[in-house]
Amino acid sequence: ERIAETTEGYTGADLAALCREAAILALREAGKPTKVEMRHFLKAIEVVKPSVTKEDLERYKRIAEEFKRMLA
């Protein structure tokens, strides 16, 4: 839940990048493959930012509404 709360606006690709970054952080820390913990995700969130801005999201919502009206 904590990750979901802090990743609003993240796309699927953004979330995949976040997971990769967290795994890399864990690997660098341990020097070998290891368990990825919440602290790794929280640190990764500082680096991996959402690729969709709030303005983009609002624009997509307006377009979706226009299409709904056109199809109704």
**Rounded mean pLDDT, 49-64:** 93
4-12 CB contacts, 8 Å cutoff, 24+ apart = 6/42, 6/45, 7/45, 7/50, 8/50, 9/50, 9/52, 9/53, 9/54, 9/57, 10/50, 10/51, 10/52, 11/50, 11/51, 11/52
Binning pLDDT at 50, 70 and 90, where does residue 49 land? very high
- pTM (two decimals): 0.77
| pLDDT at residue 8, rounded to an integer | 86
Which one of 3.40.50.2300, 3.40.630.30, 1.10.8.60, 3.40.50.620 gives the CATH number of domain 2-71?
1.10.8.60
| pLDDT at residue 72, rounded to an integer | 83
pLDDT > 90 fraction of the chain, expressed in percent and rounded: 86
